Amino acid sequence: MTDSPSEPQPSHFSSTEENRGEEAALYYYKFRFREQGQESTGHAQLADLARGDQVMIRSEHGAEPAVVTGRFLDVADVDQPFGYRIHRLASAEEREKYVLLPQLEQDAFRLCQRQIERLDLPMHMVRVERFFNGSKIIFYFTAESRVDFRELVKVLVQEFRTRVEMRQIGVRHETQMIGGLGPCGRELCCTSFLDKFDSVSIKMAKTQDLPLNPAKISGLCNRLLCCLTYEYETYKSMKKGMPRVGRQIQFEGRIYQVSRLIPLLGKVAAVDADGEERLFVEEEWRAADPIPKSIGRKGPGKKSRHTTIDIWGVQEEQVEDD
């Protein structure tokens, strides 16, 4: 079992095979293996492929059909081709077989679902993928824990007379396979282009001053939005050196307390003793003097805090009273 979905992998063909056609120009296209699948990139020596054309792609387990979804108008010179290799246009027989493939996968899905209910297995079917040459069928499912599906596999092998693989995936991969629209109104990133899931933390939302409301920063998978990682490093670098929220600064003889940061504009908002807010541009807040935190009243035998100022950060060290 594994927690990652399967996609046909690019085949590794010899450099001799490529060198035979090195004089010919390469053209790069976008395509999908499945209507609900991710877009992939492939190269070919065919210059006239159009959107909707059905082509044959070389993969590790043989030729797989795909549908062209677009092309790159201008690709910089590269030393080596990248992406999949688009071998040729699909034949009429292959196109007919490709049209039937989704129905065969749906039939396998329904049969497996019935067997799961019959065996009362604690698993939820997500998708079925069948190799074009019929050599293997992969059943994707989710479950709370490990599932003993040996009896289920026996039934499926007897039914389809081919290799059967049961693959357990997580909720993020489940959402990737099912697809949908994100809160931005666009197709989910995981469905359209993400090929791996990076770890996402609540700290990323805090750094970008986003509302810490689970409904606002969670995706359809009920996990933190993947897009929280996109601008995190930018916000982190922009905020470096800016005074923290709640810190007091002194500028032109007046004391202000920082209320919020506007890193994209390089500004700091702060309020004075009268509650009036002022926006400081970068030159102003860098010229302002930070005010150290007040030292509390000391009692006998208590530890006091020795405060040292490091630019905008305040470092506190505990010292023993005499």
Domain end, chosen from 225, 240, 255, is at 240
CA distance 146 to 152: 14
Question: What tens digit of pLDDT does each residue of 307-317 get?
Answer: 443 434 444 44
Q: What is the pLDDT of residue 6?
A: 60
Considering the domain boundaries, does residue 216 fall inside one? Answer: yes
Residue 79 inside a domain? The answer is yes
The predicted pLDDT at position 201 comes to: 92
Tell me, yes or no, whether 20 and 68 share the same domain.
Answer: yes
Structural domains in the chain (count): 4
**For position 37, what pLDDT does the model report?**
76
CATH number reported for the structural domain that contains residue 152 in this entry: 3.30.300.20
**Res 296: pLDDT:** 42
Q: In whole angstroms, how large is the CA radius of gyration of the chain?
A: 29
> In the chain, which stretches have pLDDT less than 70?
1-24, 74-81, 294-322
In the chain, what is the straight-line distance between the N-terminal and C-terminal CA atoms, in Å?
64
Output phi, psi for 62, to 5 deg: 115, -170
| pLDDT computed for residue 38 by the predictor | 80
Query: DSSP 3-state assignment of 6?
Result: coil
Do the domain assignments include residue 307? Answer: no
| Domain of residue 248, residue span | 241-290
Place of tokens 């046909």: 8
Model-level pTM greater than 0.85? no
pLDDT in tens, 15-26: 444 444 445 688
Domain shared by 83 and 134, yes or no: no
Looking at residue 30, the DSSP 8-state letter turns out to be: E
Q: Is residue 301 part of a domain?
A: no
**Spatial CA neighbour of 236 closest among 199, 206, 207, 202:** 207
- Residue 29 located in a structural domain: yes
pLDDT of residue 312: 42
CATH number for the domain that contains residue 275: 2.30.30
Length of the chain counted residue by residue:
322
pLDDT value at residue 23: 55
Which amino acid does the sequence have at 102?
A: P
